[in-house]
Structure 1
């Protein structure tokens, strides 16, 4: 080889570099797609991996994904395989757009469904999904939990926005999640927290979203942690990518508490000094 020849990376290393760049800095994905045919093949799969309403902290917007599905330029297997994390905001209309996307992206691993009134027409599409992480307003699913139960079968991490306060309904709903280990509740009263802790011993972590370090829960279980997070989309994306989200922080807090490293030992909220 001539001393003036440019260095040649092994193809596997070159692919790793481009894929890592696309994952870390999703805003450069459009430019990466123009580099070469082989780079396009690598990066296009990553482009649709994480979808949020307007592309916040993610690789793709909801509208971009929908246009790609409707173009029929990809096989159904493409979206089923490569769309892994989907955040649905507050759609308008009868839900047909969301239904179309859910049917096309049945391989979703994490789903955020921030929709206060889920139309009945969307329920069959939801029942085809098997996410491991699920976020949402599910008051409207309480009466339809049997229809959607297939979606709950492998969920390990669940975030609930609690609007209704009927404790029996929520306990019955949570009982349909056989693999649930991590639960976050937003907007719930302390009474519901106490009942969940008493009823679900298999839970490893129960996080209550709270902006204050309250002390209203007496004799609290050491699985319980209160955490405040400001940007829900960012928090969801961090968790979907395996980062240090509120559940990961809660796990570390619980471990330190059980080792006797928290003072006072009854504290159930994270402070800056904890280094978590």
Structure 2
């Protein structure tokens, strides 16, 4: 290339290639071959996917179009790392297609799906995420099929709307690497049973929007309640290794063990705690 050739600002170059990938997804294989710099731009483009692109690098619709036009391209298997799936009105075929194409997913959210369509259960069994958000009822009936997906999960957000504590405890035994657990819509007694049964858990967070608090006797210091309003934002922050609710809960527990939290039996985070 001649030294007199025009050079675009990096920001403009990124915008051009990202827009080209979105508007003409059939060109992605060719775009990836333009240069190493462009390859890196597009790899980042598809790293984090949310339903409408909230705080992420790509929308669900843009990813689906790209995969449809490039079904034989291996890039999505390695490029898509974090996928947040909203409820889909179809039979799950769209989601199935994406999951099979993105086998390298590290963070997966299916929490908006109270009942996962059978059509995507096989696709789920091929994944090995580290972080998983899901309804417990969605997987209880299919836990044998999806067992391989649980192998490396360390951070689990579990929506539990049942009172059958035994079913919840037996289900958690399928996660041999689990260290962090968040329970949504659960009773305090469930968290205490889980902590007593699974000593390897570093922290159990109860997601709660309630403002009323009550003192619990002999509560395990790994148990924390956090009031959250924007779960999808928390998910994106966590996928980037940021200070999400799990990180804040760990920091709170560390302070509590150093006797920096008063009263020492408190199990919920307050603004003054600085975490």
Please give the TM-score of this superposition, normalised by the length of structure 2: 0.87
| Pick aligned residue for 1:169 from 164, 167, 170 | 167
Structure 2 CA distance, aligned partners of 1:42 and 1:177? 34
Equivalent residue runs for 1:79-158 within 5 Å: 79-114=76-111, 115-158=113-156
Q: Which residue of 1 aligns with 2:268?
A: 269
Q: 1:171–1:196: 8 Å Cα contact kept in structure 2?
A: yes
When residues 29 and 56 of structure 1 are mapped into structure 2, their CA distance, relative to the original with a 3 A threshold, is: farther
SS of aligned partner of 1:234 = helix
Instruction: Give the gaps of 5 or more residues in structure 2.
Output: 21-30
Shift of 1:110: 0.4
Structure 1 CA distance, aligned partners of 2:121 and 2:46? 23
Q: Which residue of 2 aligns with 1:223?
A: 222
Q: Which residue of 1 aligns with 2:45?
A: 47
Shift of 1:66: 0.4
Structure 1 CA distance, aligned partners of 2:16 and 2:69? 21
Instruction: Give the gaps of 5 or more residues in structure 1.
Output: 7-16, 23-27
Extract structure 1 runs of 4+ deviating beyond 6 A.
none
**What root-mean-square deviation, in Å, do the aligned CA atoms of Structure 1 and Structure 2 show?**
2.4
Q: 1:190–1:216: 8 Å Cα contact kept in structure 2?
A: no
When residues 145 and 242 of structure 1 are mapped into structure 2, their CA distance, relative to the original with a 3 A threshold, is: same
Please give the TM-score of this superposition, normalised by the length of structure 1: 0.86
Q: Which moved more, 1:206-215 or 1:91-100?
A: 206-215
Structure 2 CA distance, aligned partners of 1:51 and 1:203? 28
Shift of 1:34: 7.2
Q: 2:49–2:84: 8 Å Cα contact kept in structure 1?
A: yes
Q: Deviations over 1:113-137 (max 9, x none)?
A: 1211111121100000000000122
Q: What number of residue pairs does the alignment pair up?
A: 256
